[in-house]
Amino acid sequence: MRALLIVAHGSRRATSNDEVRALSDAVAARDDGLYDRVGCAFLELAEPTIPDGIRALMNEGVSDITVVPYFLSAGRHVVEDIPAEVAKAGPLPPEVNVRIAPYIGRSETMADLLLAQGRSTA
Amino acid sequence: MRALLIVAHGSRRATSNDEVRALSDAVAARDDGLYDRVGCAFLELAEPTIPDGIRALMNEGVSDITVVPYFLSAGRHVVEDIPAEVAKAGPLPPEVNVRIAPYIGRSETMADLLLAQGRSTA
């Protein structure tokens, strides 16, 4: 089983964390079958933590997890903290594979998203 | 003339600010003609400021500016600070129209972007 785990910073504002959870639900609804599970986790200030999020997916039988950092730039959180938190989920069984995708600010479709966002208010 | 102004937080890391500038260039390259200018500005820690970015566009003859907040959640920066900085560009001539689009975390295409980002490393 495959999973996508959206990792956000986490906020003291509960509504910001709920936005991420709603986004996770929206991703699950739009997935065309590549992922059996779509979830979210937080680097800090909200639950679940990244290790807890990974372990919860493993407990559901997921063996292939792609972590997508919901971050706009390659700061310390993306470069150091997220890999360190992912590592804390281990040691993993050999059949479990966790990879970290590029952060979303690197997405080639971000330019299109910005244009669409402008157009939505034009 | 119309412009899209991407507004990011700004960072002490010059490379993060340069990422935003490169994204602005990518948006300009992908625009199909809706905008005569695409630029970026920063809420803090980098140049140009939001009022300076708006004034620079006006000086180039732009009279219709859509500000897109390059932010993932509706924190204080989006709700209060960006509108306040946009207001500082004024008073504007009556023929100049500045509107603020929803922040990118609200984009309906964010879910697709996340799926594509996961797929890029699958």
CA–CA gap between residue A114 and residue B101 (Å, rounded):
10
What integer is the mean pLDDT of A10-34? Answer: 95
What integer is the mean pLDDT of B77-98? Answer: 95
What six digits make up the tokens of A99? Answer: 């990879």
Which member of B6, B11, B121 has the closest CB to residue A73? B11
pLDDT at A104: 97
pLDDT at B121: 85
Q: Is the dihedral of CA B54, B48, A105, A38 positive or negative?
A: negative
Taking the CA of residue B50 and the nearest CA in chain A, the distance in Å comes to: 17
Length of chain A: 122
Give the number of other CB atoms < 10 A from CB of residue B6.
26
What six digits make up the tokens of B34? Answer: 């809706």
CB contact under 8 A, A101 and B109: no
Asked whether the predicted pLDDT for residue A107 surpasses 90, the reply is yes
Confidence class of residue A122 from pLDDT cuts 50, 70 and 90?
low
Asked whether the predicted pLDDT for residue A62 surpasses 70, the reply is yes
Confidence class of residue A121 from pLDDT cuts 50, 70 and 90?
confident
Which member of B8, B30, B120 has the closest CB to residue A101? B120
Mean pLDDT of all residues belonging to chain A: 95
What integer is the mean pLDDT of A27-36? Answer: 94
CB contact under 8 A, B4 and A73: no
CB contact under 8 A, A74 and B16: yes
What integer is the mean pLDDT of A26-50? Answer: 96
What integer is the mean pLDDT of A29-34? Answer: 93
pLDDT digits (tens, 9 = 90+) for B7-58: 999 999 999 999 999 999 999 999 989 999 999 999 999 999 999 999 999 9
Asked whether the predicted pLDDT for residue B122 surpasses 80, the reply is no
pLDDT digits (tens, 9 = 90+) for B65-80: 999 999 999 889 999 9
Is-contact A7 A70, C-beta < 8 A?
Answer: yes
Better pLDDT: B120 or A56:
A56
Confidence class of residue A39 from pLDDT cuts 50, 70 and 90?
very high
Query: Chain A partners of B107 at a C-beta cutoff of 8 Å?
Result: 113, 116-117
CB contact under 8 A, A70 and B119: no
What integer is the mean pLDDT of A27-43? Answer: 96
Cα B6 to the chain's mean position, in Å? 1
What does pTM read for this prediction? 0.94
Better pLDDT: B26 or B108:
B26
